[in-house]
């Protein structure tokens, strides 16, 4: 039997047997990758249309990033922040310049960046805004996804992420995403920040109403509240601009970055803000053993340099229009809604046809890997190195799946 010769079934069984079931992965076992393509343990190739939730914006094993990692591995990988290493200043300076901010605080994961942003906002509130001690509050949006720590899930509206993980951390007010009036009404004398995703990725690539982000910026300025933009998925070229906020000319007080910053090689995250915000931290008040380590900085500095050329932002914008046109051509033929910003698409399938999971399983069978979310919605987020022909191929496979 051919199936008896395949490695995938046993590898899937072992993964199910020996890991906690906090994920429900597609039954594919990847062994190598390059650019926008993945190869499984049985030699079958797949077009990657997830890109590690934007962690692989520059594709798999981008040669510039791999070279930087190899060179750094041969010299120095970790010192801790007890000392300064020779990659640190370049990374912080160049990322700060890319963001147009004074300072950078490096961490490891996106959730750590969000937690750092929360802590900084609270401390700024007490030290600068002079809110009531112990009463700082932060406004967030429903449908948000900012990570999975106990504090972050405390203000999630997703039952899967939140249920049974209480008691929950206080200090957050949830308002409808896109409702500027509700956001403004929720601000009180102890509000220190508004924390938003400029585009809600996990919710299905939900775009904000036109004018919403500029309105949030105006309200935050008028009410002396920090605007924190979680650009962990949406930032660093994904949407056709360096940041999703750039589409409406909005500059937040604080950027939360991650995923693509590590080039798909190491976990790297960061908070970027001006000195009057990040400057509230003093030695001993926040830190991370691996945050800003030499290996991470070497890779992330090259990521920043790739973005500084503007090439990947342009590719995302141009190829995103091709992706949009292809997907919108399927409206009425199994798709009921399409949302696209750059190379990031949320695709709503007619639930009478299939669930998002079923669609992803059928795409996998046709050599395309994507991820479902919330019922009959799938997300497409290919690496920014994808070609126009590969975009057309991905859309053709979506069409074939819809046609049954």
Give catalytic residue positions: 145, 230, 259
Tokens for 404?
């049954």
Query: 357: number of CA atoms within 13 Å, CB side?
Result: 7
Tokens for 147?
């990570």
Tokens for 89?
């200043």
Tokens for 393?
């191929």
Tokens for 70?
């190899």
DSSP string covering 265-298: TS--EEEEE-HHHHTT--TTSS--SSTT-HHHHH
CA–CA gap between residue 323 and residue 187 (Å, rounded): 39
* CA distances for 364 relative to 40, 47, 89, 357, angstroms: 12, 9, 43, 10
CA–CA gap between residue 248 and residue 84 (Å, rounded): 38
Nearest to 398 by CA among 323, 324, 343, 327: 327
Beta bridge pairs of residue 15 = none
The residues, ordered by sequence, that sit 6+ positions from 128 with a Cβ below 8 Å of its Cβ are 276, 280
Q: Answer for the pair 322, 391: CB distance below 8 angstroms, yes or no.
A: yes
Q: Which residues of 270-300 are buried (b: 16+ CB within 10 A; e: fewer)?
A: bbbbeeebbebbeeeebebebbbbbbbbbbb
CA–CA gap between residue 3 and residue 1 (Å, rounded): 5
CA–CA gap between residue 125 and residue 190 (Å, rounded): 8
CA–CA gap between residue 88 and residue 236 (Å, rounded): 20
The number of beta carbons lying within 10 Å of the beta carbon of residue 367 is 15
* CA distances for 27 relative to 369, 371, 381, angstroms: 11, 12, 20
Tokens for 69?
């990692």
């Amino acid at each position: 039997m051919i199936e008896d010769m395949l490695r995938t079934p046993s590898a899937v069984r072992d993964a199910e047997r020996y890991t906690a079931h906090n994920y429900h992965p597609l039954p594919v076992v990847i062994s190598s990758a390059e650019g926008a393509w993945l190869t499984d343990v049985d030699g079958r190739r797949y077009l990657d249309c997830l890109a590690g939730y934007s962690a692989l914006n520059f594709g798999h094993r981008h040669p510039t990033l791999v070279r930087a990692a190899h060179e750094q591995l041969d010299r120095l990988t970790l010192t801790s922040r007890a000392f300064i290493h020779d990659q640190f200043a370049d990374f912080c300076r160049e990322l700060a310049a890319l963001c147009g901010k004074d300072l950078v605080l490096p961490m490891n994961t996106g959730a750590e960046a969000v937690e750092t942003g929360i802590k900084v906002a609270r401390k700024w509130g007490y030290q600068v805004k002079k809110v009531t001690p112990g009463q700082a509050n932060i406004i967030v949006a429903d449908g948000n996804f900012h990570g999975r720590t106990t504090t972050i899930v405390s203000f999630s509206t997703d039952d899967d992420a939140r249920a049974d993980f209480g008691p929950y951390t206080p200090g957050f007010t949830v308002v409808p995403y896109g409702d500027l009036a509700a956001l403004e009404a929720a601000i009180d004398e102890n509000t220190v920040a508004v924390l938003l995703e400029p585009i809600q990725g996990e919710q299905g690539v939900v775009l904000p109403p036109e004018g919403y982000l500029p309105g949030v910026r105006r309200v935050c300025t008028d009410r002396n509240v920090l605007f924190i933009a979680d650009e962990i998925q949406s930032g660093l070229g994904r949407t056709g601009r360096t940041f999703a906020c750039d589409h409406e000319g909005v500059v937040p007080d604080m950027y939360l970055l991650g995923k693509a910053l590590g080039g798909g090689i190491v976990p790297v995250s960061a908070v970027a803000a001006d000195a009057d915000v990040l400057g509230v931290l003093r030695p001993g008040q926040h830190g991370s053993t691996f945050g800003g380590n030499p290996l991470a900085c070497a890779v992330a500095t090259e990521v920043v340099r790739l973005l500084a050329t503007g090439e990947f932002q342009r590719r995302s914008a141009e190829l995103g229009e091709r992706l949009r046109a292809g997907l919108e051509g399927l409206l009425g033929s199994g798709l009921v809604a399409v949302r696209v910003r750059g190379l990031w698409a949320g695709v709503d399938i007619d639930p009478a046809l299939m669930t998002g999971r079923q669609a992803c399983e059928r795409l996998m069978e046709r050599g395309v890997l994507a991820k479902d979310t919330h019922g009959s919605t799938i997300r497409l987020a290919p690496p920014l190195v994808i070609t126009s022909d590969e975009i057309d191929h991905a859309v053709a496979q979506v069409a074939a799946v819809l046609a049954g």
